[in-house]
A and B are shown apart, each in its own frame.
Chain A
């Protein structure tokens, strides 16, 4: 099946700093989503971005499908940005919507 690798595994920032999270995938994808999992376990949709660039406030994401990677940018980080960030994909050969998740990036933002 498709492999998804995220980096870095852990990231510690001071409030106000910028960061870039990376997601590499091993095959073509039909779907790519970025999620933020809060401390209570809720997966919050950040971006649906199988290709191209999107922005939402302080967050933006870019997926270069031909090179099999996606980037999530967080600017002016806040303590509420802390949590786990997951990249998840549906592989190109899949006939149903099985999301395969990366291992996640644990982000800690200190005041």
Chain B
């Protein structure tokens, strides 16, 4: 089963709201990722978690706060977002085995379409 699930599918929030995006995989993968995709653009990496530890933060503003409570779950907490943060947020996972990390195939969830008013 190569499935990554994401909830919610759609989210509309105001600039003062706090919300969270959730991602789950049950493939035993140890690496999980958040990507952001603006309209008519390719996805861009935001964060990488490896063995539940944050490995990479691609200079993402602090209003985005990732969390990896266990090896199957990845959350993205949102606070005080701006309208320009409206985008499709994609979660991905890969096997993440230590030496083979860069080589592993990544599998993506269906995304959460976020609108900030």
Q: State the A residues within 8 Å of B (CB).
A: 30-31, 33, 35, 40-43, 45, 48, 50, 86, 88, 90, 94-104
CB pair A97–B106 under 8 Å, yes or no, is yes
- How many B residues face the partner with a CB closer than 8 A? 31
Contacts of B94 in A (CB 8 A): 97
CB pair B90–A43 under 8 Å, yes or no, is yes
CB pair A98–B56 under 8 Å, yes or no, is yes
- Complex-state Cα separation, A45 to B33, whole angstroms: 16
Nearest B-chain residue to A104, judged by Cβ: B42
- Complex-state Cα separation, A39 to B88, whole angstroms: 12
Identify which of A31, A42, A99 contacts B110 (C-beta below 8 A). Answer: A42
Indicate whether A98 sits within 8 Å of B48 (C-beta atoms), given known contacts A31-B103, A31-B105: yes
